[in-house]
Structure 1
Amino acid sequence: MFAGLDLQAQVDAQFSQYWALPSYYNAGSVGAKEKLNILAATRQQWVGMPGAPKTFLVGADMPLRFLKQNHGVGLLLSNETIGLFSNMSIGAQYAFKVKLWGGNLGLGLQIGLLDQRFDGTKVSIPTSDEHVSTEDGIPQTELQGMAFDMGFGAYYTHKYFYAGLSALHLTKPSITFDEKYETYIGRSYYFIAGGNIPFKNTLLELQPSMMLKTTFNITQVELTARLKYKKFLWAGLSYRWKDAMVVMIGAEIKNVVFGYSYDYSLSPIVKATSGSHEVFVGYSMKIDFSDKNKNKHKSIRIL
C-alpha cells in the first residue's frame, strides 16, 4: 500500500510582542512613523525542549517623500532554527501612502527570498535489526534551497488606533533540495489592530491590541492589553487562544524602546518546557531632508 501526503512548511515565526513588529507581518506599515526606525528581536521558544524554535529578526524602515507623494521603504531579515531545519528570509518593502478619513493608509508590497536548510548530518538513526542505517527518504547530508517570495498588506493608522490586513507567501514558494526533496509553503493571512485609550486626569494609557492569523486550515487569535505610564513604562498581559498566557514589560527612553515577554504554555506542551522568552529593542531617529535643514557655510573671505 502507498499513501501520498502533502506537507506545508511553516516559516512565519511566533512573536508575542507582535504589536512592536508590524513590518514583519505587514509591508504596508513601513514608513508609518515620521522617523527612521531600526528594530531587532529574538525569541527562545519552549526553553528546555531539544530542537525548540529560536528566532532572530532585524529590520529598518523610514518614510520617504518623492514627486510630492508620501512613501515608505524598509528592509527585513529574519532567521529561525527548528530542530534540524533553519529558515532565513530577507525582504525589501515598499508602501504607498495616502491620507484617508483623518489618518494614513499604507498599501505595501514585500519581495524577497526564502532560504531553507536541513542539517542531515545530525540525523540520528537507532542501531538495531529493526532500523536501516541509510534510508533515501531520510537525508543525511546538508541540504539547502531557495525560492522567491512575495507579500502584500494594507495598514491604516489614526491618532487613536491602527489596523492592518496582510497576506504572506503569495507565490506559494516551493523549495527543492538536491532534486529529491521538496517543501511547500502555503499562504498565511494576518489581521492586526490596536488602540490608545488615555485616562482623563492621569498619566496612564490603556493600549489594547489583537492579532488574528490563519492559513484557513489553522487559525490562531491573540488578545493583548498594555498599561503605559507617562509614555515611559508599560506592563501588560496577553492571551493566545488555547496556547499560552503572556506577561510583558518594557520602557521607552528618548529614542530607544525595549521590551521583554514571557510565555507560559497552557497546552500539554507545558510538561516539556519552562516557557518562552522574547526580547526586542528599537531605535528611532528623526529625519528631514528639506532644504531648510541643509548646512549652509559662508566664505570667510566675505565675512
Structure 2
Amino acid sequence: MNIIKPRYVNVFKRLYITITLALLLSVGAKAQYDASFSHYWDMEPYFNPAAVGKQPKLNVVAAYALDMAGFENNPRTMYLGADMPFFLLGAYHGAGVSLINDQIGLFTHQRIALQYAYKHKLFGGNISVGAQFGFLNEQFDGSKVDLGESNDPAFATSDVKGNAMDLAAGIYYTHGRWYAGVSAQHLTSPLVELGETNELQIDPTYYLTGGYNIKLRNPFVTIPTSVLVRTDTKAYRADISARIVYTNEKKLMYAGVSYSPTNSVTALIGGSFHGINLSYSYEMYTSAISLGNGSHELMVSYQTDLNLFKKGKNKHKSVRIL
C-alpha cells in the first residue's frame, strides 16, 4: 500500500494543486501533523490533557487560524475546547472535551477527544496527571485531483475517508508564578486507511511547555512569559512568548510578541470585552514568504467561576482574565 505523509509536497508531485503545499517545506514545523496555534498558553488542553481543570473555573476556548494568507488551498484550522475541575471521593480532578478541524490542501484532519486529569498537592504546588481518548477522522478529496493523461491507480480520484482511535497523556505542574508540563500526542501511532490503495501514518508528537509570571512594581502590570517546544522526532518547533498585561478592576488589555526560531515572529493583541476575552495574532514568516502572506489567528474564550467543592453551593461569576 502507498503511504500518504501529511503536509509533505512530494505526495502531490504529480497533481496540479496548491502551491501552498510546496511552501510548507520552507516552514519546517508545518510538516508535522498537529497544527500550531499562536495562543498556545490559553489552549494547553489542546496538546496536554493534564492541563484540564487547571483553574477553578469552567473554561471555554475557541480559535480559528488561517495560515499563509493569499495562497490557494492554504491551511485553515478551527479548535473548540471546554474544561472544568471537580471534586470526587476526596480528591480533585479535571475533565474536558476538545474538537479540531484542520484543512490543508485536499486533506481534512478532524479529532474529537475526551480528557481527564487527576490532581494532587506536591512540594508546595499542584501536580496533574492526565489522559486523553480521541477519535480521528481523515478525509482526502480526490475528486479535485487532476492527473492529466495519467491514470495512476496510486492516487485516489474520489472522496476517500478513514478513521482511527487516538491516545494522549501528559503531566502538568504549577507552583506559584511558574508552571511546567510534558505531554505526548498520538501515542499509538494511528494508521488510517484511505480507500483501498492508500494509508496515512501519524507519528507521535511530544510537547514540553513552561512559563513564569513576572510581577512589576506597578500592581496593574504583569509580564507573563511562556515557551512551547514540540517534535515528532523528524521536525521541531519552538515558540517563546512574552506579553505585557494591564489589569485594573474590570479592564484587561495586553500586547505581546512571540518568536519561533527559523520560522516566524508573531504579534499579539487582546483584551476583555463585555465578559468575553478576545485576542488576535499575526504570524510573519522569516523565510522567503512575503510579509503579507502570514497567518491570522483569532481566539475567543469565556470563563465562569465554579464553586463545586462545598456542598449546597454552586456560584457563577464572570471573570475577565486571559
TM-score of the superposed pair, with normalisation by structure 2: 0.85
**Greater Cα shift, 47-56 or 231-240:** 231-240
Helix, strand or coil: the match of 1:201? coil
Q: How far apart in 1 are the matches of 2:115 and 2:314?
A: 28
- 2:184 counterpart (153, 164, 167): 167
Aligned pairs, how many? 286
**Matched residue, 1:88:** 110
Q: How far apart in 1 are the matches of 2:40 and 2:314?
A: 37
**Matched residue, 2:283:** 263
2:59–2:302 contact (8 Å) kept in structure 1: yes
Helix, strand or coil: the match of 1:269? coil
Q: CA deviation at 1:158?
A: 2.3
**Matched residue, 1:105:** 127
2:192–2:200 contact (8 Å) kept in structure 1: yes
**Matched residue, 2:10:** none
**Matched residue, 1:299:** none
Q: 1:202 to 1:97 in 2, by over 3 A?
A: closer
Q: CA deviation at 1:118?
A: 0.4
Residue segments in structure 1 that go unaligned for 5+ positions in a row: 296-303
1:8–1:186 contact (8 Å) kept in structure 2: no
Bigger radius of gyration, 1 or 2? 1
- 1:44 counterpart (66, 89, 98): 66
| 1:44-72 CA distance string (max 9 Å, x none) | 00001111110000010000110010000
For 2:169, the aligned partner's letter is F
- 2:230 counterpart (198, 213, 220): 213
Q: How far apart in 2 are the matches of 1:269 and 1:16?
A: 18
Q: How far apart in 2 are the matches of 1:7 and 1:123?
A: 15
For 1:247, the aligned partner's letter is A
| 1:240-291 CA distance string (max 9 Å, x none) | 11111100001135743221100111112338x6211001111111222332
The answer to whether 1:234 aligns with 2:254 is yes
Helix, strand or coil: the match of 1:207? strand
1:73-84 aligned within 5 A: 73-84=95-106
1:1-303 aligned within 5 A: 8-9=5-6, 10-126=32-148, 131-132=149-150, 134-230=151-247, 232-253=252-273, 255-270=275-290, 274-289=293-308, 290-293=310-313
Q: CA deviation at 1:100?
A: 1.3
Measured on the aligned residues, the alpha-carbon RMSD in Å equals 1.9
Q: How far apart in 2 are the matches of 1:283 and 1:294?
A: 18
Residue segments in structure 2 that go unaligned for 5+ positions in a row: 7-31, 316-322
Q: CA deviation at 1:8?
A: 4.2
Q: 1:253 to 1:79 in 2, by over 3 A?
A: same
Helix, strand or coil: the match of 1:216? coil
Q: 1:153 to 1:175 in 2, by over 3 A?
A: same
Q: CA deviation at 1:294?
A: 6.7
| 1:146-180 CA distance string (max 9 Å, x none) | 00100000011222011110000001000001232
Q: How far apart in 1 are the matches of 2:121 and 2:211?
A: 19
Helix, strand or coil: the match of 1:38? strand
For 2:258, the aligned partner's letter is S
| 1:113-142 CA distance string (max 9 Å, x none) | 11000000011233xxxx41x220111100
Percentage of pairs with the same residue: 35
Helix, strand or coil: the match of 2:290? helix
Q: How far apart in 2 are the matches of 1:274 and 1:35?
A: 37
